[in-house]
Amino acid sequence: MTTYKGINGFAVQSVASDPSPLDEGQVWYNNATYAFKLAGIQVAAWASGANLNTARSQLRGAGSSQNNGLVFGGTTGAPAISVASESYNGTAWTNTPSMNTAKMGFAGCGNTQTAALAFGGITDPYVNVTAASESWNGTSWTNTPSLNTAKRNIDGFGTNTAAIVTGGSQAPGAQLFATESWNGSSWTNIPATIPISNAGCSLGTQTAGIMAGAGPSSNQTLSFNGSTWTTLPATLNTARSGASPAGTQTAGLIAAGNISAPPFNSNATESWNGSGWTSLANMSTARREPGGNGVQTSSLVAGGFTTGFTAVTEEFTGAAVAIKTITTS
């Protein structure tokens, strides 16, 4: 009779706890739970989440996973700009204390649900450009020192104590290429200038970031090392602007966005490994200018614009090695 050992040259290992790390196809016997186990691949996929309390676009997000999120600001349609702030626990969105300044076309960042930063953008009545900056500590929003230059349609990334803002404009046609850094107490102009002013989709840390899809509807990828912006040879598979970011400079994810052809909304998802972009499973709802947060393997996208302002949330779980129990059924 053919046996596992006869086929593979070794017997199934008997262990008291599941081994780590795992390789796809690895089989073992867990003698504590009396079960045979198999390491299989969990496919990257989107799943429906709970709707936001306030449908809007151009909101920004912070958080560490699909179960630990925060979104804030945005617009519900001219001339209404939002101060709404909401937190997510993986099951429902809860209204939190509002921002001090309503804004859209702004930048936001933060790698946890209790530590975020919002800066720049447009305030009421849809034309005023602001330099205002404020931080979130999990309980309330507090005004912090302003940007050196008021700007809108900007890119930002990092944490609430170490952030970067770049690009944007002060008025139509008045493009900006400067970069400012935040150290937790003040904004400082740094020599780095970005080669294109239009906002893309940015992620990473103050000293290691990337921007993808600097617009309008572009496929460019730029990297930042703390002092210099560099255009990379790798390009997005779907050219777009206004996408939702998650992750880091070497393990990133972007989803949704604004494309150049009708209906102008994208549901494309791409992962970044530090050198190239890979297309993954599409979102269910194509949209532009949503809010998002998380890491490459666990993130969410909320709100945005479809044919109108949406409150729809989708949760992303990345590909991974998953443990399955072998049964006779």
Q: What is the pLDDT of residues 61-79, one digit of tens each?
A: 999 999 999 999 999 987 7
pLDDT for residue 253: 97
Would you give the end-to-end CA distance of the chain in angstroms? 22
Residues 181 and 282 both lie in one domain: yes
CA–CA gap between residue 236 and residue 150 (Å, rounded): 30
pTM of the shown model: 0.86
C-alpha to C-alpha distance for 62 and 311, rounded to whole angstroms: 17
Beta strand 35-42 pairing with 141-144: unpaired
What is residue 147's predicted lDDT score, i.e. its pLDDT? Answer: 98
Claim to verify: residue 37 and residue 52 sit in the same structural domain: no
**For range 100-108, the mean pLDDT:** 95
- Other CB atoms within 10 A of residue 39 CB: 18
Q: Which two tokens stand for residue 274?
A: 């530090």
Element (H, E) at 5: helix 4-8
How far is it, in rounded angstroms, from Cα 113 to Cα 118?
Answer: 13
The answer to whether residue 265 is domain-embedded is yes
Angle at 277 between CA 87 and CA 158, to 5 degrees: 40
> What contacts 251, CB < 8 A, 6 or more positions away?
271, 272, 273, 274, 295, 296
**What average pLDDT does the segment 107-134 reach?**
92
SS3 at position 105: coil
Residues 32, 102 within the same domain: no
Judge whether residue 104 has pLDDT over 90. yes
Say yes or no: 180 and 291 in one domain. Answer: yes
Same-domain check for residues 59 and 37:
no
Tell me: do 22 and 142 sit in the same domain: no
Indicate whether 1 pLDDT > 70.
no
Of 114-118, 190-194, 317-321, where does mean pLDDT reach its minimum?
317-321
199 & 305 share domain: yes
Claim to verify: residue 21 and residue 66 sit in the same structural domain: no
Confidence of residue 319 (pLDDT cuts 50, 70, 90): confident
Is 231 part of any domain? yes
Q: Residue 326 falls within a domain, yes or no?
A: no
Q: Are residues 38 and 76 in the same domain?
A: no
The answer as to whether 242 is a domain residue is yes
**Residue 46 CA, distance from chain mean position:** 14
* Tokens (6 digits) for 111: 């790698």
Mean pLDDT score across all residues of the chain: 90
User: What is the number of domains present in the chain?
Assistant: 2
Is the pLDDT confidence value at 138 over 70?
yes
Q: Note whether residue 56 is domain-resident.
A: yes
pLDDT greater than 60 at residue 329 = no
**How far are the Cα atoms of 194, 228, 276, 322 from residue 235, in angstroms, in the given order?**
17, 19, 7, 31
The domain of 21 spans: 4-42
Locate 157 and state its tokens: 């990334």
| Residue 225 · residue 245 · CB < 8 Å | no
Task: Kindly tell me the sign of the dihedral angle through the C-alpha atoms of 102, 180, 64, 247.
Answer: positive
| Predicted confidence (pLDDT) per residue in 191-222, tens digit | 999 988 777 899 999 999 999 986 556 899 99
Band (12; pLDDT cuts 50, 70, 90): confident
Q: Does 218 fall in a domain?
A: yes
Query: 244-275, pLDDT tens digit by residue?
Result: 999 999 999 999 999 988 989 999 999 999 99
156-182 burial: b if 16+ Cβ within 10 Å, else e: bbbbbeebbbbbbbeeeeeebebbbbb
Identify whether residues 19 and 77 lie together within a single domain.
no
CATH number for the domain spanning 203: value is 2.120.10.80
174 and 28, same domain (yes or no): no
How much is the average pLDDT of 161-189? 92
Residue 322 lies in a domain: no
Q: 155 with 299, same domain?
A: yes
Which residue is it, tokens 């001090």?
Answer: 100
pLDDT value at residue 126: 67
Residue 36 belongs to some domain of the structure: yes
